[in-house]
A and B are shown apart, each in its own frame.
Chain A
């Protein structure tokens, strides 16, 4: 991944993270605000319910009071035969009350609107309250012929002399009652009438009758019934989620007769959150796109100098030490470019100085070698000439003989000098290889045959391990033969006490390998490093140009030469050609 791509990615991630964080914070704030608003709405609906409850209670009390004060009630109260009024409650309750019972002083029902057949049955609970006149309406579980219902009931008494009549009337808390509670948009009111011993789904009603959410709300209802305290539960998921606040509705004896459930749909919140999420996504996408565009431009400004620096560094690595970077800014990148330019400048200067120094050193080395190489034959020449001069002066009779020997020696040494000069000349004038398909196995076989006598004389056993699958490679056969001879001679020099010379060819996937191994004394790592340096030699004789020539030839063939050696075990030269 490029630096630019990485920067772009960082920009995009940063923008997305920032948008996500903003969305998270806004969502949390929105949720808090929504929940606060929901709490206020719930409180409002609870207050409204209580107010409505109170209003209905007062309305019922007023109606019951009116019935109690009616002439009919007085007539029934004093009637010695109340049985004739068995249908009176129904008449009195018409259009005003859902429930009405006229109960005699002894608790026996005179007339019941909700259950006409119950005349004569006792309503003992009416007798337990000493003063009904001051009591407000209360919740009561009321038994009907075919069911039990929850009602808001008020009781008033009619007293005429010793005669007494209880008037107990009320309204059923049903869907109609719930419908009278105007809930804000998104809220709904449910009523559970605690009429059965166990939870009964049919007793959970809303403004339209039994609700379908009964099973989901059962735990909440049962909790409120059990604890007698408010409860809270969220049902459903996503946009259909609804939070229910449950309030216990208690009767005259503080028993939980019903549970009021106020449901608040989380649809708006979920929609708001979804809207915010989508907004955040859109903003994030736009932000990321903008980040990419701006980042592309910005990173281009940042990375272009860096890229140029990298290219320049690459050129430096490739050998062009004079590569520089154009400096266009004064920022850190500009400073870096300037530092790079200084560095390359220094490198070039150092390289020049080094080259100069190496050149001087090479000349010195060459001079030393030349002096050394020339000094050796020159000394016999000087001695021979001096002997010849001395013999002519002192021993003229022996001069001829001395002259003969001397000239012979002189010629031999001059030949030696010529050979030395020829080698230096060869190294200086390395010709370009003339490439042609060469079978290295044949080349090795021919070379080894030339050295058979020499190797035998030196007590060296020759071994040629040739790969039959070796393919011909393009090479200059003369130069490669020279390479192989140099390596063989090097191996022979390395084994003065004899040993084994192994020449091996190996077919590689995309080329061939030629190995020449000896079992000589081996080389130190330092020696290995300097082995291919011209004029470097570990031998007492030689010019130090042999391996330098080998390396030069291999390099001209686009090949690679390496050396592997272990002190005391021998050395292997390895040449890979393509």
Chain B
């Protein structure tokens, strides 16, 4: 209610500004200066308006303030992190904290927010707790958090811009083992239950929305075939370790371990600190064009750089070649999902590509 009233008051003020005020008001301040050009009626109107605006000023939120954001990732440098549009970097603690201030000379005008404070390397669980306790304003949401109802929480999600995949190290030399695992993983069950149907099941490196042919890559499970592939291998050859980079994905790794067992593979899930035979990783696809995106994936996973594709067919062939040998087993393409607390106004917070959009936000602060 208060928010709606505030918007209405703002429109009235804008109208008054257009009609009666000679100079613009400082952003976020909301003061009114009046210049009577008419006589009594106008004086009365002006007085009424002054009273209304004074009343509104007493109760309305103020623009500005600091937006607190938490994220899982831990960026080493501001260049990698990127500076949100309309802001300038004022403080940087590598891997921990970044503070951005509103750029008074931003091309599209000064953002509503005075500053954005970003806390890095926060687990999804901690982020949820902090949001719940009002310690932060914007957090990343895990699929399970999505299901949980929370008063005043708003959710924004991007396109599937993160690739979740299994990446094998050099020790697992037998491609049959890698292929068997690819065939054993029940992506559908993981997608339905653990990911709460967020994102897409995929056997491709690049998401469907970028390439248009991702569906061609098989992503179904075939346990019988997986068993047949490793039937002749010794138990030692069928045993390997799987590291999970993000503890939030431990459940997915456990499910993969269980699926692998059905295929007579013995997988032990270990922390990412150990030198494992395979890793369950997530990577952000930062480019919307396929060649650049594929090159970035190849670079991230240590694969050979794909040839520069001139058409979709070449692009498909390049991606197919990268997947041959099952060194990388794509599992899902996942969106970035953010939740905002009740203090946050405006939005959306991210673009379809998952980029921050803080310039359209402001936080509601009580006087």
Q: A117's contact among B196, B197, B254, by CB below 8 Å, is which?
A: B254
User: In the complex, what distance in Å separates the CA atom of A40 from the CA atom of B22?
Assistant: 105
Min Cβ gap B186→A in Å is 7
Among B194-237, those with CB < 8 Å from A are 194, 196-197
| A136 CB–B CB distance under 8 Å | no
Q: Contacts of A87 on B, CB cut-off 8 Å?
A: 144
Number of A-B residue pairs at CB separation under 8 A: 30
Residue ID in chain B nearest A84 by CB atoms:
B147
Contact: A117 with B147, CB < 8 Å? no
Contact B144–A117 (Cβ < 8 Å): no
A117 and B258 contacting across the interface, CB-CB below 8 Å: yes
Taken together as a complex, chains A and B put the C-alpha atoms of A473 and B186 apart, in Å, by 130
Across the interface, do A145 and B193 meet the contact criterion of CB distance under 8 Å? Answer: no
A contact residues around B196 at 8 Å (CB)? 83-84
Q: How many Å from the CB of B127 to the closest CB on chain A?
A: 18
Q: Do A117 and B255 touch (CB < 8 A)?
A: yes
Name the distance in Å between A86's Cβ and chain B's nearest Cβ: 4
A119 contact from B144, B193, B197, Cβ within 8 A:
B193
Say whether B254 contacts A86, CB under 8 Å. Answer: no
Find chain B residues with CB under 8 A from A121 CB.
258
Chain A residues positioned under 8 Å from B194 (CB to CB) = 86
Instruction: Tell me the interface secondary structure of chain A in the complex.
Output: loop
Scan A531-567; emit 1 where CB is below 8 A from any B CB, else 0: 0000000000000000000000000000000000000
- B119 contacts A by Cβ under 8 Å: no
For window 128-153 of A, CB contacts with B under 8 Å fall at: 145
CA distance A363 to B179 in the complex (A): 146
Distance between Cα atoms of A119 and B251 in the complex (Å): 11
Quick check: is A120 within 8 A (CB to CB) of the other chain?
yes
CA distance A116 to B194 in the complex (A): 10
In the assembled complex, the Cα of A424 lies from the Cα of B196 at a distance in Å of 157
B192 close to chain A: CB less than 8 A: yes
Report yes or no: A116 in contact with B189, Cβ–Cβ below 8 A: no
CB <8 Å contact, B192 and A117: no
Q: A116–B254 contact, CB under 8 A?
A: yes
Interface string of B163-193 (1 = CB under 8 A from A): 0000000000000000000000010010011
* B257 close to A (CB within 8 Å): yes
Which residues of chain B are within 8 angstroms of A115 by Cβ–Cβ distance? 258
- Known contacts A83-B193, A86-B193; is-contact A117 B257 (Cβ 8 Å): yes
Alpha-carbon distance between A86 and B197 when the two chains are bound, in angstroms: 13
Chain A residues with Cβ under 8 A from B251's Cβ?
116-117
Does B186 contact A120, Cβ atoms closer than 8 Å?
yes
A110 to B, closest residue via Cβ: B193
| Selected contact of A145 from candidates B186, B189, B192, B254, CB within 8 Å | B254
Please, what's the 1-or-0 string for A177-191, where 1 marks a CB less than 8 Å from any CB in chain B? 000000000000000
Cβ of A119 and Cβ of B147 under 8 Å apart?
Answer: no
- The answer, yes or no, to whether A118 is at the interface (CB within 8 Å) is yes
Interface size class of B (residues with CB under 8 A): 10 to 19
List chain A residues, Cβ under 8 A from B258: 115, 117-118, 121, 145
A120 & B193 in contact (Cβ 8 Å cutoff): yes
Docked complex: A92-137 residues within 8 A CB-CB of B = 115-121
B74 to chain A, nearest CB (A): 27
Nearest opposing residue in chain B for A121, CB measure: B258
Query: Which residues of chain B are near A81, meaning CB under 8 Å?
Result: 192
Give CA–CA (A120, B193) in the complex, Å: 9
CA distance A86 to B252 in the complex (A): 12
Residues of B within 8 A of A119 (CB): 189, 193, 255
Residues on the B chain within 8 Å of A117, using CB? 251, 254-255, 257-258
Among residues of B, the one whose C-beta sits closest to the C-beta of A87 is B144
**Cα A145 to Cα B196 with chains together (Å):** 23
Using known A-B contacts A83-B196, A84-B196, A87-B144, determine if residue A120 contacts B254 with beta carbons closer than 8 Å: no
A71 to B170, CA, bound (A): 51
Docked pose: A81 CA to B189 CA in angstroms:
12
Residues of B within 8 A of A120 (CB): 186, 189, 193
A81 to B194 CA separation, bound complex (whole angstroms): 13
The residue of chain A having its C-beta at the shortest distance from the C-beta of B252 within the complex is A117
What CA separation (Å) do A433 and B80 show in the bound complex?
A: 149
Interface string of A33-53 (1 = CB under 8 A from B): 000000000000000000000
User: How far apart sit A119 and B258, CA to CA, in the bound complex (Å)?
Assistant: 10
- The answer for the CA separation of A86 and B255 in the assembled complex, in Å, is 12
Distance in angstroms from B260 CB to nearest chain A CB is: 11
A145 to B258 alpha-carbon distance, docked (Å): 8
Query: Which residue, A84, A116, A117, A120, has most C-beta atoms of chain B within 10 A?
Result: A117
Taken together as a complex, chains A and B put the C-alpha atoms of A416 and B189 apart, in Å, by 162
The residues of A that contact B189 with a CB separation of less than 8 Å are 119-120
Instruction: Report how far A119 CA is from B190 CA in the complex, Å.
Output: 9
0/1 string, A507-539, CB within 8 A of B gives 1: 000000000000000000000000000000000
Instruction: Give the residues from 255 to 276 in chain A that come closer than 8 angstroms, CB to CB, to chain B.
Output: none
Chain B, Cβ-Cβ closest to A145? B254
Complex CA distance for A117 and B251, rounded to whole angstroms: 7
Residue of A nearest to B269 (CB): A145
Cα separation A454 to B257 with both chains bound (whole Å): 140
Which residues on the B side are within 8 Å of A86 (C-beta)? 193-194
A115 nearest CB neighbor, chain B only = B258
- Sample of 11 more A-B contacts, CB < 8 Å, known A117-B257, A120-B186: A83-B193, A83-B197, A84-B193, A87-B144, A116-B251, A117-B254, A117-B258, A118-B258, A119-B189, A120-B189, A145-B254
27 contacts between A and B (CB under 8 A): A81-B192, A83-B192, A83-B196, A83-B197, A84-B193, A84-B196, A86-B193, A86-B194, A87-B144, A115-B258, A116-B251, A116-B254, A117-B251, A117-B254, A117-B255, A117-B257, A118-B258, A119-B189, A119-B193, A119-B255, A120-B186, A120-B189, A120-B193, A121-B258, A145-B254, A145-B257, A145-B258
Q: Which 3 A-B pairs have the closest CB atoms?
A: A117-B254, A83-B193, A117-B255
